[in-house]
Amino acid sequence: MYRYIGNKTKLTAVILDRIAELIGLNGTVADIMAGTGTVSYELRKRGYSVVASDMMTYSYHHLIVNLTLSEAPDFRTLISSGRLGILRSENSYEAVLMYLNSLPPVKSFFFEEFSPDGTPSNGGEPRKYFTSDNAAKIDSIRETINEWVTNSLVTPAEESLLKHTLIMAVNEIANISGTYGYFLSDFKKNATDSIVLKPLVFYPTNSEGHIVKQGFAEELASSISADLCYIDPPYMKRQYAANYHILETLARGDFPDAIGKSGLRDWWDQHSKLCTKTRGLQSFETIMHDLNAPYFLVSYSEDGLFSLEQLVQTFSKFGKVTTQEIDYARFRSNNSKLPKQLKEYLITVKR
C-alpha cells in the first residue's frame, strides 16, 4: 500500500494514452518528478525509453527497481561471502529476504526515535510511528543492509532492490494517516502486524536503455533530452521531504537528528520551490526553457497552488497549450472533510 500524495496509479491509463496520441508508441519520455515511479513503470511496459528523476533518494531506489530490473539480481558476492549461512531458498533474492526477516531485533535509531518504548534524543515524548517490535526489526534490517553496502557485498542495483523492498514493507505497518508528517496517537490495526519483507514480482522485459537520476528538475533539465517530458509536480504547499522523512531515512540509511514532536529530519536540502507560490512558476519556466523536448505534458490539480489560468499563461511562453480535464478522486488523509471529487488537469505544451 503506497499512499503517496499525487500518486498517479488511477490516472496512468489516461496519461499514457495522451502520450501515445502525441508521440506514438515509441521514443524517449522523461518523467522528471517521478515519485513512486508508477508512471515510469507504465512507460517502460508500453515500450518507451524512460529518463526518470526526482529529488528524493527513496524515489531513486524505486525508479532503479521499476525501470532497470527484469529479474531478481543474483546477490552473488553476498551469498558467496557466507554471511547468510545455509540458504533456505534456491532463489537468492528470496533467501536474502528470509535472512533479513529472521534477524534478531536491535534497539537502535528507529526504536529510540520512532517507537513508544524509545527515548528520543531531543528529550521529548516517545513517538508512535511503529510498534516497538517493528521499530527494532527495522533497525536490524536496515543496519544489516548498511553493513552489506559499506563492505561492497551488494551491487548498487541490489542495494536499491533491498531498500525498495524494505520501504514497501514499512508502508504496510506504519502507524500514520496517509503521510509520515505525524503519527497516530493509538496504534491502528495494520500497524500491529509484524513487518515482513515480501519479494517483488518483476516485469520481464524492456529493462535496458533507461536513465535514472536524482536531483532537482530545475537543475537536471539542461542534461535531459526526450521526445516528450511528463511533469507531475507537487500541487500543494506540503513538502514531500517533510511528509516522507522516514522513507528518506530508510533510503539513505543514515541516523539524522530527529527534530521536534514528529521527529522530522532536517529536510531543507530537499525543499521544493514548486510548493511555493512565490517561486513555483519560475521553476516551470526554468525547466521548460532548459529541457530539450518538443512536448511537455503537465499534470495538475484543480485545488493546486496555481490556477489553470496562471499555468496556461506561463506555459504559453514556450508553445501552444491545450488542456484536458479529468474527474479524479481526491487524495485524502483518513479524517479529511474535503469533498471527494475534484478535477485533474492534463496540460499539453507543444513547442
Residues forming the site for ligand SAM (CB under 6 A): 4, 6-8, 33-36, 38-39, 54-56, 59, 216-218, 232-234, 240, 272, 274
Residues 6+ apart with CB under 8 A from 166: 138, 141, 142, 145, 197, 250
Which CB atom, from 2 or from 187, has the smaller least distance to ligand SAM? 2
In the bound state, the residue with its beta carbon closest to ligand SAM is: 6
Q: Cβ of residue 164: shortest distance to ligand SAM, in angstroms?
A: 13
Which CB atom, from 38 or from 49, has the smaller least distance to ligand SAM? 38
Cα–Cα distance, 115 to 127 (Å, whole number):
5
- CA distances (Å), origin 27, targets 44, 228, 284, 347: 11, 8, 23, 20
Which CB atom, from 157 or from 236, has the smaller least distance to ligand SAM? 236
Please provide the DSSP assignment of 240-267 as one string. HHHHTHHHHHHHHT-----BTTTTBPP-
Cα–Cα distance, 49 to 199 (Å, whole number):
26
Which CB atom, from 87 or from 168, has the smaller least distance to ligand SAM? 168
Q: Cβ of residue 280: shortest distance to ligand SAM, in angstroms?
A: 9
Cell output for 132? 516497538
Q: Cβ of residue 179: shortest distance to ligand SAM, in angstroms?
A: 12
Which CB atom, from 176 or from 217, has the smaller least distance to ligand SAM? 217
Q: Cβ of residue 63: shortest distance to ligand SAM, in angstroms?
A: 10
Q: Cβ of residue 304: shortest distance to ligand SAM, in angstroms?
A: 10
Cα–Cα distance, 128 to 147 (Å, whole number):
27
